[in-house]
Amino acid sequence: MGARTDTRLTPRQRLNRGLAYTAVGPVDVTRGVVGLGVHSAQAGASSLRRRYHEGQLGRDLRRAQEALAQELATAEEVLTGLPEALQQARRARRRGKRSWLIAGFAVVVVLAGGAVAFSIVRRSSHREPSPLPSSVDVQPRP
């Protein structure tokens, strides 16, 4: 787990090294030129992307303000209808005892069915003793 001693060269450093050394020169020159081209393309793309987003920022801000105004209006409507909704919920809660009774009955039926199925499976898995005598001596010999 030693520390890495070699550092990665930037495309500019690689180009300079490639021009300085003749043995690895063509490879480094090629990699340096390609790397500089890629970096310049990325810089141009990020610049275009930034300029595009700056133009979009004003439009997005207006859309967000409109959406926020709509959400606030909707929230205000919900708040005005809240007392009525609470009354309806209280009425519905009073009727809920019947549903608990039905759910309890369903649980009892399911448990009873499971107990019956368990006993049937348990009985069918037990083998009845054979009426024939065993072919192996059960008593150990002295």
CA distance 84 to 90: 10
Q: How many other CB atoms are there within 10 angstroms of residue 32's CB atom?
A: 21
Report the pLDDT value the prediction gives residue 3, as an integer from 0 to 100.
Answer: 56
CA distance 64 to 51: 20
The tens place of each residue's pLDDT in the chain, 142 residues long, gives 455 566 788 888 877 777 776 666 666 777 788 888 888 888 888 887 887 777 777 777 788 888 888 888 888 887 788 778 777 877 766 655 677 788 888 999 999 988 888 888 777 766 666 677 777 766 766 6
Report the pLDDT value the prediction gives residue 115, as an integer from 0 to 100.
Answer: 87
Q: Position of tokens 């690895």?
A: 24
Report the pLDDT value the prediction gives residue 94, as an integer from 0 to 100.
Answer: 63
From its phi and psi, is residue 131 left (phi > 0), alpha (psi between -120 and 50) or beta? alpha
Q: Are 37 and 45 in contact (CB under 8 A)?
A: no
CA distance 38 to 32: 10
CA distance 45 to 26: 28
C-alpha angle 118-122-127 in degrees, rounded to nearest 5: 165
* Of 7, 25, 5, 3, nearest in space to 16 by CA: 25
61: CB partners within 8 A, 6+ apart: none
